[in-house]
Amino acid sequence: MKPKVAFFDFASCEGCQLAILNCEDILLDILNLVNLVEFREALSEKAPRYDIAFVEGSIHRDEDIERLQNLRSRTTVLVALGACACNGNVQARSNFVAPAVNYEVIYGEEARNRVQVDADHWSLWSHTRVRPLDAVVKVDAYLRGCPVVPAEFLHLVKSVLHGTTPFFPPDAVCVECKKNGNECVLERGETCMGPITWGGCNSICVNNGYVCDGCRGTLPHANIDSHITLMREHNIKDEDIRNRYRLFLGAEPIGRGV
Ligand code: SF4
Ligand code: SF4
Ligand code: SF4
């Protein structure tokens, strides 16, 4: 019997699901091997249990926690799909700002006063933290990046179908960046998360003239202190270092570790 596969989303732009839907060349092959039972972007059907659930998005509200725990209880292999699910992503920056301040900055003081009397909406903004999936439930595998890399999605699906553990080499983005012959942006005094970030994206951002923001998350053996020292040695200010860590990782590096 074909394994039942489903896709779900929490707080996200749904770009990772779209990235997978756009893999037309590999998607048809995969669909021959699995039974796609839930995928809000493409199907209206529902199912009671899943062999593999791909879950996109970060967790914000009490109802998100309940829904994720329920999904976990009905799923054999739960995969965190993309940076929102793996590390909290850019929305986790709000963890560093009081919820009421966030709301006021976005919608203005008048809107904030209106929402304060509306308990249903206010609960969204008064919640304590934005979290990745593994802060709430056990996650069996991670597909990193913003958005995910289609080749890694294919590798993970094949591995699960063969009953093997998917392997993603724990090499830093710097390894791919050096292979690609890029000039290091640190030499120009720009922040870069490449030394501590999971590779696998072929250093795509640096190749195209930007820096690595660290969207693929922190390597398990990352030396945060050395990374901070390295950037300081290149005259990068602590404020810029802090902002870069907060951007995708929701992490406070200086003085506290990650
Ligand atoms: S990881 Fe990026 S592309 Fe994927 S859902 Fe989150 S914001 Fe969108
Ligand atoms: S530009 Fe960034 S990713 Fe590339 S070598 Fe320098 S620090 Fe590493
Ligand atoms: S270079 Fe960095 S920011 Fe860009 S995709 Fe790779 S990990 Fe993400």
> Average model confidence (pLDDT) for the chain?
88
**Under DSSP, is residue 43 helix (H, G, I), strand (E, B) or coil?**
coil
Closest CA relative to residue 216, chosen from 193, 246, 183, 241: 193
Q: For residue 129, how far is its CA from the centre of ligand 1 (angstroms)?
A: 18
How many other C-beta atoms lie within 10 A of the C-beta of residue 100?
14
128 phi/psi in degrees, rounded to 5 = -75, -45
Pocket of ligand 1, candidates 8, 89, 130, 247: which has the most ligand atoms within 8 Å of its Cβ, to mutate? Answer: 89
When pLDDT is cut at 50, 70 and 90, the band that residue 28 belongs to is confident
Nearest residue (CA) to ligand 3, atom 4: 205
Confidence (pLDDT) at 258: 42
Confidence (pLDDT) at 257: 47
Ligand 3 contacts CB of residue 197 (under 6 A)? yes
Higher pLDDT, residue 40 or 188: 188
Pocket of ligand 2, candidates 173, 179, 202, 213: which has the most ligand atoms within 8 Å of its Cβ, to mutate? Answer: 173
Between 31-35, 111-115, 145-149, the lowest mean confidence (pLDDT) is in: 111-115
d(Cα 45, Cα 43) in Å, to the nearest integer? 6
Confidence (pLDDT) at 76: 95
Confidence (pLDDT) at 127: 53
In DSSP terms, 125 is beta-bridged to: none
Confidence (pLDDT) at 85: 96
Confidence (pLDDT) at 115: 56
Higher pLDDT, residue 118 or 69: 69
Confidence (pLDDT) at 114: 63
Ligand 3 contacts CB of residue 86 (under 6 A)? no
Minimum-distance ligand to the CA of 217?
3
The fraction of the chain above a pLDDT of 70, given in percent, is: 90
Q: What is the per-residue pLDDT across 244-253, written as a single tens digit (0 to 9) for each?
A: 998 888 777 7
d(Cα 68, Cα 59) in Å, to the nearest integer? 8
Domain segments of the chain: what residues? 4-88+131-162, 91-126, 173-249
Minimum-distance ligand to the CA of 146?
1
Q: Both ends of the chain: CA-CA distance in Å?
A: 43
Whether 209 shows a pLDDT value over 50: the answer reads yes
Closest CA relative to residue 139, chosen from 72, 236, 199: 72
Higher pLDDT, residue 42 or 68: 68
Closest CA relative to residue 81, chosen from 73, 92, 89: 89
Average pLDDT over residues 1-20: 93
Q: For residue 254, how far is its CA from the centre of ligand 1 (angstroms)?
A: 26
**DSSP letters for 152-187:** HHHHHHHHHHHT--------BHHHHHHHTTPPPGGG
Confidence (pLDDT) at 47: 84
Minimum-distance ligand to the CA of 174?
2
Q: For residue 205, how far is its CA from the centre of ligand 2 (angstroms)?
A: 10
Q: For residue 246, how far is its CA from the centre of ligand 2 (angstroms)?
A: 18
Ligand 3 contacts CB of residue 80 (under 6 A)? no
Q: What is the per-residue pLDDT across 47-61, written as a single tens digit (0 to 9) for each?
A: 899 999 999 999 988
Global pTM reads 0.89
Q: Which atom of ligand 1 approaches the CA of 145 most closely? A: 1
CATH 3.40.50.700 applies to domain 4-88+131-162: yes
Minimum-distance ligand to the CA of 18?
1
